Amino acid sequence: MSDIATAPTGSTTAGPGPTTVTDTALVRRRIRRWLWLFVVCLALSGLTAFPLQSETTLLVRALDATGLSSALPALGDWAVLTRDGVADGFGSHPFLAYGTDWLAFAHLVIAAAFWGPLRDPVRNIWVIRWAMLACGAVIPLALICGPLREIPLFWQFVDMSFGVFGVIPLLIVHRLIRTLEWDQAVRTHHDFARVVPSP
């Protein structure tokens, strides 16, 4: 279904002839759906940082059970290495997990920032633009810090995929918000033209 509807001649939104106006209710619903998808995924990705030790253990078991560790030995070896590293680090120095706790908390705080666009997307479009920049920054961060931390290249691409896939709903939301902005400008101009006659 299109975001555009045609107002019939003689309606309060129409001029002398048929006028194209935006179905703002439909656009707002689509904005909210895409934003909720982004917010839920962002929050879930943050929550997974809490049980990191259990998750790495389950990952190794899942790779072994499905045979992926044999089919993709590099992935299997990396999963075992991360499991052992997390177990050794958290076991010997539990305070290290405090860092990943704050990582999870940061994801939840960032997700909460989208309450503004959910309520008033036009006024808070800057949040969407900021999030798009953050998604783009994921790529240089992975490429710079990945080699410094001895992260395998294939896993750097996994990390970068969060930015690539994350920006897709944001681009859609941004386009929809721009549609609302344009509609508001047109309606404001139309109402002003009706009240203030041309000289």
- The answer to the question of residue 63 being in a domain is no
- The answer to the question of residue 60 being in a domain is no
Q: What is the pLDDT of residues 60-82, one digit of tens each?
A: 999 999 999 999 999 999 999 99
Contact between 156 and 143 under an 8 Å Cβ cutoff? The reply is yes
- The answer to the question of residue 191 being in a domain is no
Buried b (16+ CB within 10 A) or exposed e, 66-105: eeebeeeeebbebbbebbeebeeebeeeeeebeebeeebe
Number of structural domains found in the chain: 1
- Would you call 169 helix, strand, or coil by DSSP? helix
CA atoms of 82 and 151, how far apart (whole Å): 10
What pLDDT, on the 0 to 100 scale, is given for residue 194? 52
**DSSP element (H, E) containing 5:** strand 4-7
- The answer to the question of residue 42 being in a domain is yes
Angle between helices 96-112 and 24-47 (to 10 degrees): 170
Q: Which domain holds residue 165?
A: 4-11+19-51+102-185
Q: pTM above the 0.75 mark?
A: yes
Residues of the chain with pLDDT under 50: 1-20, 192-193, 195-198
